[in-house]
Amino acid sequence: MKTKELLIKEVENSPDFILQEVWDFLQFLKAKYQQEQLEVSLLSESS
């Protein structure tokens, strides 16, 4: 199984309070990745 399929399977079998934490963590990771990409872009422009 692929990671996405495994996650979907786990989501379907998890209580809401765990899903809320997973959602929060996913949003944190996405924001962190976007910030890192922005910093790399800015560093590339200044070189």
Residue 27 is predicted with a pLDDT of 98
Does residue 4 form part of some domain?
no
The predicted pLDDT at position 41 comes to 84
Q: Tell me the CA distances in angstroms from 45 to 4, 17, 31, 32, 40, one per residue in order.
A: 35, 43, 21, 20, 9
Q: pTM score, two decimals?
A: 0.72
16-47 pLDDT, tens per residue? Answer: 999 999 999 999 999 999 998 988 888 888 76
Q: Which residues are CB-contacts of 22 (< 8 A; sequence separation ≥ 6)? A: 11, 14
Tokens of 36: 């890192």
Distance (Å, whole) CA 21 – CA 17: 7
Q: State which residues form the domain around 37.
A: 15-46
Count up the domains in the chain and report the number. Answer: 1
35 domain-assigned: yes
pLDDT for residue 47: 65
Residue 3 lies inside a defined structural domain of this protein: no
